[in-house]
Chain A
């Protein structure tokens, strides 16, 4: 029983990471109706920036803050310079560009920082009161951070006029212009926020799996699955989906199929959920009159 609980909580811990990256994916989707396949690599690159700052002598939270702001700015710039010129292009062309960004960020990280794995510090001290035998202090901290981000994002998107304007701009850019919304600015804001969220996710996962350019490759697929299960248009759903995928991956890997097949089984379950409820567990089904 204790073993099961341990696996469950370990699943929640990894789930927290998937949830954070899934949140960034949902953020960009809400703002642009595109899936950013480069999200994981951008998060990894941000983490390397933080690492560089820490190596240069910056205190942890100083490096954290600078990295988050820098990630916001760079992501917004990418939207303006790379994605915006393609706003009339067919979806598949945009997907190719996203994959291109993925490769560029990955190779750039390898070129600039090397492929040897590096340790990354955790802001949650190992002997903190909230850590214990079942979950380490960092795992608890990472989950709290993921939940905190989703609450803030949810409140921003649902309860503020700016959040409403962002959702509107993604849904119907033409009508948004007619009510005075600067659609381009909304897109940059969405990307910027996703970049910042991704940076936080990267800095939460690096202490556990160690920092190298391949750090996020596995995570992105699970995060993507989590976002789809929970509903790609719902931040709460994305986080819920991330946790579900984390727990499933761990429990299935330990008790049912062993590590080789756990990805396949997880994906089969995802397909099953989507067949039954295509918009995801918490996603909204959009009804249109014909």
Chain B
């Protein structure tokens, strides 16, 4: 089976610090794949390395059969990779609406931008209420919704989500995760999800990878991962 995303031998470093030491990873089309691991395991670095964003990386990255590892961040975005960074990456000084419009910047066809905004407001009604408000004044949960919405405006084939639950109240997180399940089904967007909250991630994902100090130590369907003793002890607290 060919995968939407195939990663082989991914190495990444910040300056002299080697963080990823040869990662192999596949994301199947239409599925949710989770990247689990403790703090410092290299999960965020993996997503950044895929986009050549803020980190020096090497190794092959293939998106729908095409090698993208030689490209720049903005070129990779234009090829249909929507990256929702950790910390949301909101354009604080611009309005909610303008943030969403920017998500559609790289699209080749300008038609349908208004329709797409309507669809995003459909998933996240709170954003419609705040459309003309300065994005920096939105709450953490709303900014997370805005960041996801912005990535979706680019009609991506692959959505990279970096710690969407970070710093958010449990109820909001539950809300956002159920919306992401809908988005995965309705938009047919493949998702690569980085999450410290292993339980949430395994509930949503079809497949999971466990990272420890820059290497994959375990992988498989999430049902199997959930039953694995090591995972249960260290990451699910059972």
Contact = CB atoms under 8 A, between A and B. Distances in A.
B83 interface: yes
Given A161-B105, A178-B83, A179-B105, A286 B92 contact: yes
Given A167-B94, A174-B53, A286-B92, A179 B137 contact: no
Contact of A286 (B73, B77, B83, B93): B93
Contacts of B92: 171-172, 286, 288
Contacts of B78: 180
A165 B137 contact: no
How many interface residues does chain B have, given as a range? 20 to 34
A161 B91 contact: no
B42 interface: no
Contacts of B83: 178
Given A178-B77, A180-B77, A161 B101 contact: yes
A287 B77 contact: no
Interface string A215-233: 0000000000000000000
Contacts of B77: 177-180
Interface string A171-206: 110111111111100000000000000000000000
Interface string A249-290: 000000000000000000000000000000000001011110
A174 B98 contact: no
Interface in B31-77: 51, 53-54, 72-75, 77
B134 A165 contact: no
A180 B105 contact: yes
A174 B77 CA distance: 12
The CB with the most chain B CB atoms within 10 A, among A175, A176, A182, A286, is that of: A175
Nearest to B89: A175
A164 interface: yes
Contacts of A238: none
Closest 8 CB pairs of A and B: A180-B106, A180-B77, A175-B89, A177-B73, A180-B78, A286-B93, A178-B83, A177-B74
